[in-house]
A and B are shown apart, each in its own frame.
Chain A
Amino acid sequence: GQNIDQPTEMTATEGAIVQINCTYQTSGFNGLFWYQQHAGEAPTFLSYNVLDGLEEKGRFSSFLSRSKGYSYLLLKELQMKDSASYLCAGEDNTDKLIFGTGTRLQVFP
């Protein structure tokens, strides 16, 4: 079966660092996407990993281990506006995105 697992909720403090983990099982694997979704809004693209390792993009970094079926999204210097849901999505061998239910991150002052 196809499955994306990520924690349901996380909390953190403004200025801190938070890591959101994701494990995946897909039929074949073409890559791993992270999207940010604010309440009532559409998902917006954050990152894409296809090779093992860390991809850094400003305050956000994403890591992938294909052998472990594992990814994480790292958010540094947290800001209040980072409060949102973070969706992990694996692309399977039919080029379809399999989304997780999202991790709701709340950032407190």
Chain B
Amino acid sequence: DAMVIQNPRYQVTQFGKPVTLSCSQTLNHNVMYWYQQKSSQAPKLLFHYYDKDFNNEADTPDNFQSRRPNTSFCFLDIRSPGLGDAAMYLCATSRDNRADTQYFGPGTRLTVL
């Protein structure tokens, strides 16, 4: 089945220790998104790629970086995680930008000790 896969599902890291979350898709979609969702809050868009074009949200902290080496894979790097970065990180894809349904992966729950 075509899908969006995120690894790991649960990640524990220490304060200040870099961590990388991964997302892959078999949908061959052009657009890939990273969202941060804290408990009982709305998903917050961090950035997205349209193909290789990177689009950073203005309020995304510099601590968060992303890489998309090819169509199928996208990575979220958190350079120095703080306690406030503990959240669910959701990867989503869509065929195109406009009016296209976003398909979400299962998410990675990040805990920062």
Q: Which residues of A contact B (CB under 8 A)?
A: 4, 30-31, 33, 35, 40-45, 48, 50, 87, 91, 95-97, 99-102
Closest to B91 in A: A42
Closest to A35 in B: B104
B68 CB to closest chain A CB, in angstroms?
18
Please, could you name 20 A-B residue pairs with CB atoms under 8 Å apart, sorted by A? Answer: A31-B99, A33-B102, A40-B88, A40-B109, A41-B106, A41-B107, A42-B90, A42-B104, A42-B105, A42-B106, A42-B107, A43-B43, A44-B104, A48-B101, A87-B42, A87-B43, A96-B45, A97-B45, A102-B40, A102-B42
Which of A4, A97, A100 has the most chain B CB atoms closer than 10 A to its own CB?
A97
Assembled-state Cα–Cα distance A101/B97 (Å): 22
- Contact present for B99 and A97 (CB under 8 Å): no
What total of A-B pairs shows CB separation below 8 Å? 45
Number of interface residues of B (CB under 8 A): 19
B5 CB to closest chain A CB, in angstroms?
11
B21 CB to closest chain A CB, in angstroms?
13
Residues of B within 8 A of A4 (CB): 42
Residues of A within 8 A of B98 (CB): 30, 91, 95
Residues of A within 8 A of B103 (CB): 45
- Contact present for A91 and B99 (CB under 8 Å): yes
B102 CB to closest chain A CB, in angstroms?
7
Please pick, from B90, B99, B109, the residue contacting A43 in the complex, using a CB distance under 8 A: B90
